[in-house]
Amino acid sequence: MNLAIGLRNLRRAREILSVLVLDYGFGYVFDHLGVSGLLPLGRRRRGARERPDLSGPRRLRLALAELGPAFIKLAQTLSTRADLLPPDIVAELRHLQDRAPAISLDEIRGVVETELGRPIEQCFAEFDPTPLASASLGQVHGAALRDGREVTVKVLRPGLRKVIEEDLQILSDAAYLLHRQVLSLQRFNLPAFVRQFAGQLEDELNYTIEAHNSHRLRRGLSEAGMSIRIPEVVWGFTTGNVLTTEHLRGRRVDRLSDTANIDRAAAAGELGRYMLRQIFVDGFFHADPHQGNVLIADDGAVILLDFGIVGYLDPRTRDLLAEAVRRAYDEDVDGLLSTMCELGTVGHDTDFGSLRSELARAISRFVVLPRREFSVGKLLSGMVRALWLNDIRVPAELSLAAKTLLMTEAIASELDPDFDFRDLAQPVMEEARARLLAPNVLAERVVRSIESTARRLARLPARIDNVLSLIEHGSLRLRTEDARADERWSRLGRGLNRLGLSLLAAALLAASTVYLVSAEHPLHTALGVAAMVGGVSLGLVVVLAILRPGQV
C-alpha cells in the first residue's frame, strides 16, 4: 500500500481492499501485476472460492457497485472504454444498475431548503415524499410548483462530495503507484485517466452543469425541428445541489405493452436519427441513453432524461469520424486506415500491417453481417480498439460515441425489431459533410487558420532571438528522455535500501555479540538479546526482499 494512501485514508483503503480481495477474490490480479506485496499477508487469495459460480467480469461489476458512488461512476466510465478493456468486461459493466437506498425526507428537505433559501412549502405546492428514483449521486422526487406545473426535483445526496473526494484521492494515489511500479501499465497512463475521470465526476456533482447541458440539447432540438422531447429546466429552483425540471410522463421501452397505440418504428427511427445527428452534426451528445433515461410518451414521442454525462466532438474530429464511416460504407480499407490514423497519435510500436488487416476485417463484417450482429456502433468500437491495440492513441470521446450508438441501437431495436442504424446513417453523414463544406464554414476556418499563422509568425523573431541569446551566453540546454530511467532509478533506490538494511542488521548482530559475551549486568544481557532480535528481523526482511523483488 502506498504510504500516502495509508496516512490519509487508511480506513477506506482497507475497506476497498477487503471488498476486492476478501469478498470478490481479486487477489490474483495483484499477483499478476507484481504488486501483491502491497496487500497484508494472507489476504491475497481469500474470497475467490466463495463465488465460484460468478465470472470474473461479473464479480468486478458487483464489487464496484458495492464500493459506492465513485466506483459505480468509474464502472460507467470504463464501460465506454472498449479500447482499453476486453469486450466481456465492457459488456458486463454496461449492465451495472445505478441504484442506492433511499434517503429520508428530512435529509432531502434539509438540502432543498438550504439550497433554495426558504422552506420547502414556499417553493412547492406539493412535494411527494416517496422518491421516483434513488441513485448513487442523487434522489428524484415528484413535485408541483405553486403555479400548478408538475416538476421533478433531483437532490444531491448530503455529504456525498467528501466521500467521493476521499475515494478519488485513493484512486489517484493507486494509479500513480501502479504507473511507477508496473511497467506493463505505463502505456495506459493511469494517472491521466484518473484525472480525466475525476473531472467528469466533478461535473456530475454540479447540477448547474447538467441543467446547462439539458438547455443546450433542447435548443439544438428546436433548431433541427425534431420531435424528441427534453424537459425544460426551472432555473429559479435549480442550484448546484438541486435540479428542478418539468415533469414529462412516459414509459420505459422495456415496459411498453404490446397493445399500446404507438408507432414503434417511427419512435425508433426518430431516436436513431437524433443520436446520429448529435454525434456527427452537432458534436454535442447525450452519452448515457440507457433504458431508464429514454421514455416513450402516450403519443409516441421519445423523451430523453438525465444529462449528467455528455460527450463533445470538435469539428475536426466529427469530420474525420464521419469520413471514416463513409470509407467503411465504400469498403475503402486504405482510405479508412489513413483517416483513423489522423484521428489519433501514432506511437513508436504501431504495426500498420496488422492495423490494416483488423480494419479490413471490421469493414467485411459491417458489410456482410446482419445489422444486429455488426452495427455502426460495433464498427466504431472495433475500429477504436484496433487503433489502441496497434499503439495509436485516440480521444476518449470516440469510445464514448461508439458506446452511445450501441446503447441507442439496443433501445431502438427493442422498439422495432427491424430497426437498422445503417439505413439512417448515410443521410446524416451527408448532412454532416454538407455543413462542413458550407461556404460560410469554410471561410471561417480559413480566417482562423490565417489568424493562427499570423500569431505564430509574429512570435517567431522573439523566439529565434531567445535561442540565439542562450547560445551566446552558453546557457542553451538540451533535454533527453529515457523511458526506462524511472525504472532504473527505482531499482537503484531499492538496492541502496537493501544495502542500508544489511549494514544495520550486521551492526546490530555485532553489538549483540559484544553485549552477550561481556555481559556483567542483566541490562547488558537484555540489550544484547534486543539487538540480536532486531538484527535477525532486519536480515529476514532483506532476504524476503531479495526473494520478492520490487518490494523493498
Q: 357-384: per-residue pLDDT in tens?
A: 888 888 888 777 776 666 777 777 778 7
Cα–Cα distance for residue pair 48/407, rounded to 1 Å: 32
Question: Which of these, 499, 495, 535, 498, lies nearest to 515 by C-alpha position?
Answer: 535
More confident residue, 128 or 445: 128
Task: Compute CA distances 82 → 32, 63, 123, 299, 514, whole Å.
Answer: 22, 20, 45, 36, 65
Q: What is the pLDDT of residue 131?
A: 92
Going by pLDDT thresholds of 50, 70 and 90, the confidence category of residue 444 is low
**434 pLDDT higher than 60:** yes
Q: Determine what percent of the chain is predicted with pLDDT higher than 90.
A: 20
Cell digits of residue 383: 475500429
Check residue 75 and give its pLDDT.
87
Higher pLDDT, 27 or 385: 385
Q: How far apart are CA 547 and CA 17, in angstroms?
A: 24
Q: Worst-scoring range by mean pLDDT, 150-154, 155-159, 461-465, 513-517?
A: 513-517
**CA gap 220, 218 in Å, rounded:** 5
What is the pLDDT confidence band of residue 35, given thresholds at 50, 70 and 90? low
Q: 506-513 long-range contacts, Cβ below 8 Å, gap at least 24?
A: 506/535, 507/535, 508/532, 508/534, 508/535, 508/538, 509/535, 509/536, 509/539, 511/535
| pLDDT higher than 80, residue 388 | no
The residues annotated as belonging to the active site are 288
- 77: amino acid identity, one letter: T
Select the highest-mean-pLDDT range: 27-36, 52-61, 299-308: 299-308
Kindly tell me if the per-residue pLDDT of 219 is higher than 50.
yes
Query: Tell me, what amino acid is at 113?
Result: E
Which pLDDT belongs to residue 1? 42
Mean pLDDT to the nearest integer, 327-339: 84
Please state which of the ranges 134-138, 279-283, 319-323, 466-470 shows the lowest mean pLDDT: 466-470
pLDDT > 70 fraction of the chain, expressed in percent and rounded = 83
Structure confidence at residue 549 (pLDDT): 53
Question: Has residue 130 got a pLDDT over 90?
Answer: yes
Residue (of 72, 548, 23, 2) closest to 288 by Cα position:
72
Q: Quick one: pLDDT at residue 45?
A: 47
Cα end-to-end distance, the chain, whole Å: 12
pLDDT of residue 381: 76
In terms of pLDDT, which residue wins out, 515 or 121? 121
Give the pLDDT confidence of 397-430 residue by residue, as tens digits.
Answer: 888 888 888 888 888 888 888 888 777 877 777 7
**Confidence at 207, pLDDT banded by 50, 70, 90:** very high
Q: Long-range CB contacts (< 8 A, 24+ apart) of 509-514?
A: 509/535, 509/536, 509/539, 511/535
> Which of residues 365 and 442 earns the better pLDDT score?
365
The mean pLDDT of the chain is 80
CA atoms within 13 A on the CB side of 38: 26
Q: Is residue 409 within 8 Å of 272, Cβ to Cβ?
A: yes
Count CA atoms closer than 13 A to 61's CA, side-chain side. Answer: 18
At 345 the pLDDT is 74
Look at residue 278 and give its three-state secondary structure.
helix
DSSP E strands, 261-304: 284-286, 294-296, 302-304
List the helix and strand counts (H, then E) for the chain.
Answer: 20, 12
Q: How confident is the model at residue 119 (pLDDT cuts 50, 70, 90)?
A: very high
Phi/psi for 233 (5° steps) reads -80, 135
DSSP string covering 226-239: ---B-PPB-GGG--
Choose between 456 and 92: higher pLDDT: 92
pLDDT at 102 over 80: yes
At residue 533, does pLDDT exceed 90?
no
Q: pTM above 0.85?
A: no
Average pLDDT estimate for 63-86:
82
